[in-house]
């Protein structure tokens, strides 16, 4: 079984923002695989189902981004899943816009949500998909990540999230290396 966590901020105010691409990707996975993510549990919205023949739990923490680890820790404790069976999906300003960075493990980089997850789980040994949202040329980083994509960016991001969904299918099938080789860019 895999736990797949999409990071974002809850509420309509944040829907469609750069910081919520993890939520968007999780919603697309849920729709593509007929999984309803509508149970409130573990400080999150969750849904259980299958991707291929593998059981998955889809998780959207409702704690706000910087406290995502609280929810992830509760989910991992309840399901008693090995850390290598956790996949975290999140936005990344350090990855070029529209690119994916898939890793088996590693640091949080500049992402506070990932930093909180790693701190509370006391491990960084889980796969993650970083979704490049670009970075501000100047100005406030917080404003940048909480802004919405332009029309052109939205179209490109849709293709990026489609590729990320294919990468997740490979990871859930036990082929993290294949996902890295095919989709890192």
Q: 4-18, 44-58, 77-91, 138-152: which has the minimum mean pLDDT?
A: 138-152
Annotated ligand binding at 112? The verdict is: yes
The pLDDT of residue 14? 94
Which token pair is 141? 């980083």
- Find the mean pLDDT for residues 110-119: 93
Instruction: Please compute the mean of the pLDDT values over residues 108-117 and round it to a whole number.
Output: 91
Instruction: Please check whether residue 173 is in contact with residue 167, taking contact to mean a CB–CB distance below 8 angstroms.
Output: no
Which tokens in the block code for residue 82? 């090995």
Give the number of domains in the chain: 1
| Phi (first) and psi of residue 96, to 5 degrees | -55, 150
Tell me, what's the pLDDT at 145?
Answer: 86
Token pair of 3 as six digits:
């736990």
Q: What is the pLDDT of residue 108?
A: 86
Pair 72, 113: CB distance under 8 Å: no
So what's the pLDDT on residue 144? 87
Q: How far apart are CA 60 and CA 183, in angstroms?
A: 23
Predicted local confidence at residue 139, as pLDDT:
72
Mean pLDDT in the chain? Answer: 94
At 47-81, the pLDDT tens digits run: 999 999 999 999 999 999 999 999 999 999 999 99
CATH code, domain with 69:
3.40.50.1470
> Exactly one of 19, 33, 77, 111 is catalytic; which is it?
19
pLDDT the model gives residue 143: 84
Specify whether 19 is catalytic.
yes
Q: Is 90 within any annotated ligand binding site?
A: no
Give the domain extent around 143.
Answer: 2-183
116 is in an annotated binding site: no
pLDDT digits (tens, 9 = 90+) for 125-148: 999 999 999 988 877 888 888 889
Q: Tell me, what's the pLDDT at 53?
A: 92
pLDDT > 70: what percent of the chain?
A: 100
Partners of 101 in beta bridges: 130
Determine if the pTM surpasses 0.85: yes
């Amino acid at each position: 079984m895999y736990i797949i966590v999409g990071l974002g901020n809850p509420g309509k105010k944040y829907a469609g923002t750069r910081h919520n691409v993890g939520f968007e990707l999780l919603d697309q996975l849920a729709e593509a695989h007929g999984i309803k993510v509508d149970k409130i549990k573990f400080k999150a919205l969750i849904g259980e189902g299958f991707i291929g023949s593998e059981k998955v739990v889809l998780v959207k923490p409702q704690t706000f981004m910087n406290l995502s680890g609280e929810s992830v820790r509760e989910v991992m404790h309840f399901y008693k899943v090995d850390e290598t069976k956790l996949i975290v999906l999140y936005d990344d300003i350090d990855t070029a816009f529209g690119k994916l960075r898939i890793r088996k493990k590693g640091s949080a980089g500049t992402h506070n949500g990932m930093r909180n997850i790693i701190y509370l789980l006391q491990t960084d040994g889980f796969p993650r998909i970083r979704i490049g949202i670009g970075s501000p040329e100047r100005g406030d980083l917080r404003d940048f990540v909480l802004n919405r994509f332009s029309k052109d960016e939205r179209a490109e991001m849709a293709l990026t999230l489609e590729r990320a969904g294919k990468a997740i299918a490979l990871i859930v099938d036990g082929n993290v290396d294949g996902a890295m080789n095919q989709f890192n860019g």
